[in-house]
Amino acid sequence: MNEFVTLETSDEHPGVGTIRLARPPMNALNRQLQSELVEVSREANSRADIKAVIVYGGEKVFAAGADIKEMQGMSYADMSGAAQELQYGIAAPALIQKPTVAAITGYALGGGLELALACDRRIAGDNVKVGTPEVLLGVIPGGGGTQRLARLVGPAKAKDIVFTGRFVGAEEALSIGLVDEVVAPDQVYYAALTWAKKFTGGASQAIRAAKLAIDQGLEVDLENGLAIERHLFAGLFATDDRVIGMTSFIENGPGKAKFTGR
């Protein structure tokens, strides 16, 4: 039984899994929590009953960053060995080949923002503060922040946020594409749930392929990205859902297929 991170499902909302962080008061991402994130992300990825995943820190805070007390005494030799594990742990939701959404309340700072950046979508309360304040500690983001943030909002905006370490409010975060939706603070989880439920009856193999094509294609040039797309597109012709979807379209019109996820 994990201490800080759980994977929750409910009969009320079948098909949606919630990765829940619970390390009061601020969900600081220590090494144990990172390890548990990897464990539950792998479970969410492997479970056929889960079609989409919400990452949620609770009503008051998403995650205020890595555990600085844990890092303070580490040497260069210590961190050079631990950096890859830290990067892997904080970005664990990127392991999930299903739609993922970060439901952000309160603060998402440093590693907390990096955790949100590892999701496909970010929904925030209108009172949130996000940012990468690592430079104020004499370091840089080490959980994927310099890379995912720049890819999301562009290098100039990413440099401003990283160089200054400033907090970004909800309105600015929405305007630069750092978050995708802003709602009232008490509606954050509900809004994330509404988005996640769109995929519970979807063609799971096609959604997985689409996510892989986009994510992997961003890392290569156009020619290789198109090759990735061709490979994944052709592979879907070996799935039951492709037969179901095309047959239903011909017989009943669009949007009426009952997919099995196989």
Residue 70 near residue 31, CB atoms below 8 Å: yes
Residue 113 near residue 78, CB atoms below 8 Å: no
Q: How far is CA 43 from CA 27, 50, 101, 210, 232, in A?
A: 21, 10, 16, 21, 23
Which residue among 134, 172, 219, 251 is the active-site one? 134
Cα(first)–Cα(last) distance of the chain, in Å? 30
Residue 44 near residue 7, CB atoms below 8 Å: yes
Q: Coil, strand or helix: which one is 94? A: helix
Catalytic-residue membership of 12: no
Catalytic-residue membership of 3: no
Extended beta strands in the chain, E state: 5-8, 16-21, 52-56, 100-104, 107-109, 121-125, 129-131, 168-169, 181-183
Which residue among 114, 171, 172, 219 is the active-site one? 114
Pairing of strands 16-21, 52-56: parallel
Burial 33-52 (b: 16+ CB within 10 A, else e): bbbbbbebbeebbeeeebbb
Active site residues: 114, 134
